[in-house]
Structure 1
Amino acid sequence: MTIGWRSVLLGLAAVSLTACDLFPPAPDDVPAPEARPNELVLPEPKPAEVSDYSRMLEQRYARLQQDLLVQGLMRTNGGGIEAPFDADDLVRNFVQIALFDEYSAQSGRLRAQQTESSLRRWEQPVRMSVKFGASVGADRRVTDRNYIRAYGSRLSRLTGVPITYSHDDANFHVLILNHDDLRASAPLLRSIMPGVEETSIDYAVNLPRDQLCLVIGTFGPDGVRYRRAVAIIRAEHPDLMRQSCVHEELAQGMGLANDSPRARPSIFNDDEEYAYLTTHDELLLKILYDDRLSVGMTADQATPIVRQIANELLGGSS
C-alpha cells in the first residue's frame, strides 16, 4: 500500500505530519545518549557506535523505498506528459501550499488544522551549511555535501535568492543525523536556532519513527520574513529517499510550507508519486519569489497576481 511520510515545518510555520505507523517504537527504557554537540559539527567523522534501533530503521527505510519503487512511485522524471497541469491548477496549488498551514500550535502541542497564513519567504541571502552526525562516513559526507550544494544552486536560480555556503555564519543549516545523533541534538539546535520554541526542539529530538525528515523555520518580528531554517535528514535513509528529503525540505524551507492532496505533479503531496522537485514545483517557487508578490499578502490579496503570473509562465493557458 502507499505510505505517506511528508515533512514538517515548525517554528511559527506550517506543519505537515504523517499519520502512518510504520515502525516499532524506540525502547522506552533506553535513555537518550549524552549530548555530543562537537561530534555533530566535525568536518571529518569519528568512529561512532550505532544503536540497534538505528540499524533497524536503516533496514526498514530500505524496504520502504523498495516497496514504493515497486508500486511505480518516487518518480524522478519531473512530471512528464502523464501529469499535465494548467494555470488554474497552478494557482490553486500555489494558494494551498504557500498560503495555508496544515498544522497549528495550540497549548504547546501541534494540532492538525488547515489555517490560512500569509506569504512568507526569504528577503535576505541564504547562507547554507551542511553538518553531519558522527555515524556518517567520509565518503557519504562528500556525496551528500556535493548533492546539497548542487540542489541549493538550483533553488537559487529558481528563486533569485543568493544561496552561498558558510560554516560559521549560516542561516540555513542542513543536518544529516541518525537516530542516535538526533536524540543528542538539542544543544546543537538551540545554538544554531536561538530563540526557537522548545516545542519545536522537543519535536525534532523525538522525531516520530514514521517521520522521515523535517524543516524548522523561524521568522522576524513580522512573522513573514525568514530569519533561520534547519532541515533534518535521517542518515539511515537509502540514496533516493535521502535525496527526496533534501528536495522537499530545502524547498519547503524556502517558503512552500504546506502540502496539498490535489497538487500534481508535485513533491508537496502525501502520495509519494514523485521523489524530486517537478516542473510544477519549480513554477511554484518562481511564483513565490516574483517581485509582484509581497511578504505578508493573504490568499485573497495574492490570488489575482498569482493568476497573472501563472498565465505568463504557461504561455497564456488558463
Structure 2
Amino acid sequence: MRRAALAILLLAGLAACESSTLAPRKTEVPPHARPSELRPADPESEAPREPSLASHDLEVYYARVQADLLTQGLLRTDGGGPDTPFTDTMLARNFERIALAEEYERGAGLRPSRGELGRVKKWTKPVRVSAEFGALVPEDQRVQDRNMLIQYVNRLNRVTGHPISMTTGAANFHVLFMSEDDKAQIAPRIRQLVPDVSPSALEVFENLPRSIHCLVIAFSENPGGYAYGEAIAVIRSEHPDLLRRSCIHEEVAQGLGLGNDWPEARPSIFNDDDEFALLTTHDEMLLKILYDPRLKPGMDADTARPIVKDLAAQLAGGLGPS
C-alpha cells in the first residue's frame, strides 16, 4: 500500500482562541479532603500501561506494508544512481512543482488544491528542532528515533546552509512521535504550541486514517505570510524502523518548504511512489535551491523562475542526458 505522507501548510485564516467562561480561573471555596481510599496510587506501584489492541494492530499492519514495499524493490536508501538520471531542466521543473505548488488549499485541512503554482515558502529565522514522545513509546525506540532525528537535522543544516539544529529548550519545529494510544494528546499539544491554530488544522487529527503514515503542519509567522515561524510534525510510533526514518526525512523536509508531491520527480521522496525512503541527492539540490538567499519568502513563480533555472544549472549541469 502506498505510503501517504501529507504536508498541510496552514498559512492563513488562523482562528483566535476564546477563553472558556464555564469555570472561573480562581475560587475561594476550599476543596474537600479526598477520602484515603480514593487517593491516586503511588506512581511507583502502578503497573506499566500496555499498548492497546488497536496500536498492536497498526504495528502489524505497518510491518506488513514495509515488507511488501521492500519485496517490490521500493524504499531505496541509495539516494539515486545511474538508473535515475536527471537534468537541470528536470530539476528546475521539479522545484516549481514541489516547492511552489501546494497539495492542499491553505487553511482548508485536507481539501486538495487545484495545483496552481504559488509562492516561495521557507524559514528565515533559525530552525530549532525538538523531539517529543507519547507516553507509550518505548524508551529504546525513543533513543533510536532521537538519534535518527539528530543525524538528519545535522545533514539539513549542512545542505541548506541555513541554521537548523536540535534543542532541548525553546523549539519552533516540534517532531511528535505518537502511538495510536497517544492520539488524544496531539490536539491539546498543538493548541499549546500554537494557541491560535485554526479548527481545520486540528480536525486532521480527530480521525487520522491509517493510510496517513505521518504529516507536518507549517505555520507562517504572520497570517497570510510565507516565512515560516512554527512547524509540527507527527510520526506514528507503530512504524517499523525504516518507515519511521522515512517519515522523519519527508516530513521535516516538507516542513522546511518542500510542501508538495509531484509524480514525475525522480529520484525523490516527494512523489508518493515509495521508490525512495530517504532524502536523495536530487532532493538535497531542491533544498539548496530553496535556501539560496536570492529566493525570498512570498516570491511568485515568474520572479523565482530565472533564479531557480540558474541554480539548477549550477547544481545539476551535466548530471543527466540532454
User: TM-score scaled to structure 2, two decimals?
Assistant: 0.84
Query: Aligned letter for 2:155?
Result: R
Provide the rounded CA distance (Å) in 1 between the counterparts of 2:135 and 2:120.
37
Number of equivalenced pairs: 285
Deviation of residue 160 (structure 1)? 1.4
Which residue type is aligned with residue 5 of structure 2?
R
Q: CA deviation at 1:285?
A: 0.1
* Whole-Å separation in 1 of the counterparts to 2:196 and 2:118: 21
Aligned to 1:75: 76
Alignment-derived partner of residue 256 in structure 2: 254
Pairwise CA distance, 1:204: 2.5
- The alignment's C-alpha RMSD in Å is 1.8
User: What is the identity, as a one-letter code, of the residue corresponding to 1:51?
Assistant: S
> Structure 2 CA distance, aligned partners of 1:105 and 1:200?
10
CA distance in 2, matches of 1:236, 1:47: 18
What whole-Å deviation, never above 9, does each CA across 1:82-109 have from its counterpart, x for those lacking one? 1000001000000000000111157776
Alignment of 1:303-318 (within 5 A): 303-315=305-317
Deviation at 1:182, TM superposition (A): 1.7
2: CA distance, partners of 1:49 / 1:142: 19
For the pair 1:133 / 2:173, whether they are aligned, the reply is: no
**Contact conserved, 1:103 with 1:115, CA < 8 A, in 2?**
no
CA distance, structure 1, for counterparts of residue 176 and residue 301 of structure 2? 32
Q: Which residue of 2 aligns with 1:301?
A: 303
Pairs within 5 Å for 1:70-219? 70-105=71-106, 110-219=111-220
Q: Deviations over 1:139-182 (max 9, x none)?
A: 11111111101100101111112122333411000000011212
Distance 2:215 2:61 in 1: 19
The alpha-carbon deviation at position 269 of structure 1 amounts to 0.5
Corresponding residue of 1:7? 6
Task: Spell out the pairing of 1:245-284 with structure 2 (5 A cutoff).
Answer: 245-284=247-286
Q: TM-score, with normalisation over the residues of structure 1? A: 0.85
Residues in 2 aligned to 1:308 and 1:180: alpha-carbon distance in whole angstroms: 49
For the Cα contact (< 8 Å) 2:157–2:165, is it kept in 1? no
**What is the letter of the counterpart of residue 305 of structure 2?**
T
Tell me: CA distance 1:205–1:172, structure 2 relative to 1, closer, same or farther (3 Å): farther
Q: Deviations over 1:230-273 (max 9, x none)?
A: 11000000000000000000000110000000000000001110
- The residue type paired with residue 178 of structure 1 is S
1:107 and 1:192 mapped to 2: Cα distance?
A: 20
Distance 1:95 1:234, change over 3 A: same
Cα shift at 1:291: 1.4
Q: Which runs of 5+ in 2 are unaligned?
A: 13-46
Letter in 1 for 2:286: L
What is the percentage of aligned positions where both structures have the same residue?
A: 51
Shift of residue 307 of structure 1?
Answer: 0.5
1:226 aligns with 2:219: no
Q: Give the alignment partner of residue 244 of structure 1, picking from 246, 263, 266.
A: 246
Separation in 2, partners of 1:275, 1:254: 18
Shifted more, 274-283 versus 201-210: the winner is 201-210
Which residues of structure 1 form unaligned runs of 5+? 14-45
Hey, what's the Cα distance between the residues in 1 that align with 2:111 and 2:317? 41
Q: Decide whether aligned partners of structure 1 residues 247 and 193 sit closer, same or farther in structure 2, where only a CA change above 3 A counts.
A: same
